[in-house]
Amino acid sequence: MRQRNVKNKEDIINNSKYFISKPTLYKGKWHTLFNNSNPIYIEIGMGKGKFIIENAKKYPNINFIGIEKFDSILALALKKIDVDLSNLYMIRLDANNILDVFDKEITRIYLNFSDPWPKKRHEKRRLTSPLFLEKYDLVFKNNNHIEMKTDNKDLFSYSIKSLNNYGYYIEDITFDLKSDDNIMTEYEEKFTKLNNPIYKIEVSKVKK
């Protein structure tokens, strides 16, 4: 998706107290930054930030880290924070490099409307491919827990199979998400207004 350039994006990013410019410094010790031992949830590919910001507001006893690799989108997310939050940080990171930043300290991973990478030759780029699931094994603290939402039926079907083959069991699944408790992303709001079905799955795996 082509993203418009955001004016003064570098200033917005670098002047925000919620942006961590050198996240590798906190690998294995993110709790020291949050200054508590609360669970840490991450969203890989947070987009414009609505989902993770609203979660941070709703659940003050959970720490949240939003991950985004594009500067313009990261700047838009940082601008969206409209209240003081002590349980939220955002970082610039390509998901491929997640092991540079986290080590056995994450409780939950959110994958919301990830790029489906529909071509077979791009399978390894999908965030639910075995390549990424292997990386996630090394960032989870105890048992693995992943929540995924998408509007792409093919990606959803692929993910169910990939997660199952990797040892995850399904805790909850829906092929047409409708819930009063559901915190939507920007994409989700758009697709819901168009009456497009939203697919969601929650899976867990006991760490060996």
Q: How many residues does the chain have?
A: 208
- Output the domain CATH number for residue 179: 3.40.50.150
For residue 104, the model assigns a pLDDT of 96
- Residue 76 belongs to some domain of the structure: yes
- Residue 111 belongs to some domain of the structure: yes
Count: domains in the chain: 1
Average pLDDT over residues 106-130: 95
For residue 207, the model assigns a pLDDT of 75
Average pLDDT over residues 164-179: 90
C-alpha radius of gyration, the chain, whole number: 16
Tell me, yes or no, if 71 is annotated catalytic.
no
Out of 115, 151, 176, 181, pick the active-site residue: 115
Look up the domain containing 15 and give its range: 9-205
Average pLDDT over residues 44-73: 96
**66 exposure class (CB count in 10 Å sphere: 0-12, 13-18, 19+):** buried
What's this model's pTM, rounded to 2 decimal places?
A: 0.93
Place of tokens 């004016």: 7
Distance CA(147)–CA(111), nearest Å, equals 6
Instruction: Tell which residue, 145, 143, 151, has the closest CA to residue 175.
Output: 151
- Residue 70 belongs to some domain of the structure: yes
Instruction: Read off the pLDDT of residues 133-146 as tens digits, 9 standing for 90 and up.
Output: 999 999 999 999 99
- Residue 82 belongs to some domain of the structure: yes
